[in-house]
């Protein structure tokens, strides 16, 4: 016996089916737009980090040059916003990939212009930038940005980039509660909290290091001022007292969480003034120099992003880095810091200036040693970081950015030598390696 449907019922069912089909199409389109937005943001961030990893001279990277002045950083960010973004490629797993590229000649030209207009220090001269083209043996720097359909954007975006991306498309229905990416389902709640806590501590260390790179006058950075007195160095951690968390981002394809911490500029300047008034006994810095810091720094806050991972005992089975590529097991060093020690001296170790020169030499030596430490890290049982970057110049440059931003964890000075210990987080290194593995698995 055949069932006869009433014409009205048929019409209603047809309408429901049409609405359902339309909603699914809208959801799919929204997912593509979100993935594209995240991929473009990732590309901007990677191109900025890659350029910051370029070495200008034996002591200085582009990262150091950019952070010396608020005006320099603003002009650098404006340059990044003009980088060409290529056509998007979409994959079956819902992710999106875009390429960003810029010529090395264009980079050098803009850095020279920024240097001429705004640089006040003495460690970098205009001719130093000419060595960049000889150092980078290719004419174009190219990176791949990857994105999944998520509303949140990755942290540490260059200033002014986020408005270029536009806001997220409206959801078809209001979201209920914020959920973690699927890769985090195997992590216990305690593991997620501990990963975020580790990222927060890492961000605080980087935040302090970033503030240390601020220039006070033509000869002195905040770092130089701090190292002139044991008392000042001991109390310097108070510069980031009251720093607050402003963003948290859980990666889609790896158990890495990034936390961005911020501290008001006004508080930073006030703390430096107090340290100068109470403890400074030298003659290279005056109260007027300290006052001028407020005039040079236009931003309202200092920000830095740290990375953390959950401890192994809080994780389930390791997840693949890409749903379209082979599974890659996270290395053991992912959850720890990598450190290296450097030594330096100067012919005038008995003077404050000589000690500062020795500390700089020790920092350069420590970062050089850090390169060797990172090169020796195992990616698989048969592959080290050194093997991985040999034919991938872009990864070598991005790791250079990480090394340039390494945190000074300890420094000691005696009458003969300065000793400096620098560290980088394993998650920062793995993020670069893993991103390239994800790109290669798609081609």
Q: pLDDT tens for residues 202-245?
A: 999 999 988 888 888 887 888 888 877 778 888 888 888 889 99
In a domain, 64, yes or no: yes
pLDDT at 320 exceeding the cut of 50: no
**Do 355 and 420 reside in the same domain of the chain?**
yes
Same domain, 310 and 343: no
User: Which of 179-183, 221-225, 257-261 has the highest average model confidence (pLDDT)?
Assistant: 257-261
Spatial distance between the Cα atoms of 423 and 407, rounded to a whole number of angstroms: 5
Among 135, 154, 173, residue at a domain's last position: 154
Q: How far apart are CA 201 and CA 43, in angstroms?
A: 26
Enumerate residues 6+ apart whose C-beta is below 8 A from 333.
Answer: 377, 378, 426, 429, 430
Do 341 and 430 belong together in one domain?
yes
The CA R_g of the chain, rounded to the nearest whole Å, is 25
CA distances from 429 to 56, 70, 308, 326, 380 (A): 22, 27, 12, 20, 15
Q: Which of 287, 314, 341 is the last residue of a domain?
A: 314
Residue 323: both structure tokens together? 């749903």
127 in the same domain as 90: yes
Whether 38 and 135 share a structural domain: yes
Please report whether residue 169 resides in a domain.
no
- In angstroms, how far is the first alpha carbon of the chain from the final one? 56
Residue with tokens 């150092």: 135
* Distances from the Cα of 302 to the Cα of 163, 239, 264, angstroms: 20, 11, 6
User: How far apart are the C-alpha atoms of 380 and 378, rounded to whole Å?
Assistant: 6
Same domain, residue pair 431 and 354: yes
Please give the C-alpha separations between residue 24 and each of 17, 151, 297, in angstroms, as whole numbers. 11, 18, 48
Q: Determine contact, residues 240/271, Cβ cutoff 8 Å.
A: no
219 within a domain of the structure (yes/no) = yes
- Indicate if 193 and 290 belong to the same structural domain: yes
Q: For residues 300 and 400, state if they share a domain.
A: no
Q: Are residues 26 and 150 in the same domain?
A: yes
Q: Give the rounded distance of the alpha carbon of 48 from its chain centre.
A: 9
What's the pLDDT at 324?
Answer: 42
206-to-54, 303, 408 alpha-carbon distances in Å: 19, 9, 9
Same domain, 376 and 414: yes
Kindly state whether residues 122 and 216 are assigned to the same domain: no
pLDDT interval class at 332 (50, 70, 90) = confident
- What residues contact 140, with CB distance under 8 A and at least 6 apart? 101, 102, 103, 104
Listed in sequence order, the DSSP H helices in 168-227 are 189-212, 222-227
Q: Which domain holds residue 74?
A: 21-154
Question: Is position 408 within any domain?
Answer: yes
| Strands of 86-136, DSSP E | 89-90, 96-103
* Mean pLDDT rounded to a whole number for the chain: 84
On the 0-12 / 13-18 / 19+ scale of CB atoms within 10 A, 166 is exposed
Q: Tell whether 2 is covered by a domain.
A: no
- Kindly tell me if the per-residue pLDDT of 339 is higher than 90: yes
Confidence check: pLDDT of 319 > 50:
no
Say if 128 falls within a structural domain. Answer: yes
Mean pLDDT within 305-330: 65
User: Are residue 192 and residue 309 in the same domain, yes or no?
Assistant: yes
| The two three-digit tokens of residue 102, written as one number | 């810029």
Could you give the number of structural domains in the chain? 3
Indicate whether 165 belongs to any domain.
Answer: no
- Lowest-confidence pick of 22-26, 139-143, 281-285, 336-340: 22-26
C-alpha to C-alpha distance for 426 and 331, rounded to whole angstroms: 9
Beta bridge partners of 412: 419
On whether residue 368 sits in a domain, the answer given is yes
Q: Enter the pTM of the model.
A: 0.79
């Amino acid at each position: 016996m055949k069932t006869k449907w009433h014409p009205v019922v048929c019409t209603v069912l047809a309408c429901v089916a049409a609405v359902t089909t339309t909603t699914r199409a809208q959801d799919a389109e929204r997912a593509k737009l979100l993935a594209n937005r995240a991929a473009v943001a990732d590309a901007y961030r990677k191109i900025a980090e890659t350029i910051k990893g370029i070495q200008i001279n034996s002591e200085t990277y582009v990262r150091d040059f950019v952070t010396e002045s608020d005006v320099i950083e603003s002009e650098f960010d404006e340059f990044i916003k003009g980088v060409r973004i290529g056509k998007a490629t979409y994959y079956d797993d819902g992710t999106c990939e875009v390429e960003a590229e810029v010529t090395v000649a264009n980079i050098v030209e803009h850095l020279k212009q920024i240097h001429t207009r705004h640089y006040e220090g003495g460690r970098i001269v205009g001719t130093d930038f000419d060595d960049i083209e000889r150092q980078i043996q290719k004419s174009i720097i190219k990176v791949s940005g990857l994105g999944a359909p998520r509303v949140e954007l990755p942290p540490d975006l260059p200033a002014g980039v986020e408005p270029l991306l536009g806001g997220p498309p409206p959801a078809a229905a209001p979201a209920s509660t914020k959920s973690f990416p699927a890769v985090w389902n195997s992590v216990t709640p305690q593991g997620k909290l501990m990963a975020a806590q580790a990222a927060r501590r890492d961000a605080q260390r980087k935040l302090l290091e970033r503030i240390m790179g601020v220039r006070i006058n033509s000869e002195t950075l905040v770092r130089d001022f701090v190292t002139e007195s044991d008392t000042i160095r001991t109390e310097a951690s108070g510069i980031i007292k009251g720093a607050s968390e402003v963003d948290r981002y859980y990666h889609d394809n790896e158990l890495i969480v990034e936390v961005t911490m911020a501290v008001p500029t006004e508080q930073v300047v006030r703390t430096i003034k107090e340290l100068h008034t109470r403890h400074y006994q030298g003659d290279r810095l005056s109260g007027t120099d300290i006052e001028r810091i407020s005039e040079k720094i236009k931003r309202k806050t200092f920000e830095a992003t740290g990375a953390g991972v959950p401890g192994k005992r809080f994780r389930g089975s390791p997840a693949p880095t890409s749903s379209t590529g082979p599974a890659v097991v996270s290395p053991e060093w992912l959850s720890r810091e990598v450190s290296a020690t450097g030594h330096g001296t100067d012919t005038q170790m008995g003077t404050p200036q000589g000690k500062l020169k020795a500390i700089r030499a020790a920092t350069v030596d420590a970062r050089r040693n850090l390169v060797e430490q990172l090169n020796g890290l195992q990616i698989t049982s048969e592959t080290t970081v050194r093997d991985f970057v040999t034919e991938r110049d872009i990864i070598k440059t991005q790791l250079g950015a990480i090394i340039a931003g390494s945190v000074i964890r300890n420094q000691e000075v005696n009458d003969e030598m300065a000793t400096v210990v620098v560290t980088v987080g394993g998650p920062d290194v793995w993020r670069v390696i893993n991103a390239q593995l994800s790109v290669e698995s798609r081609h």
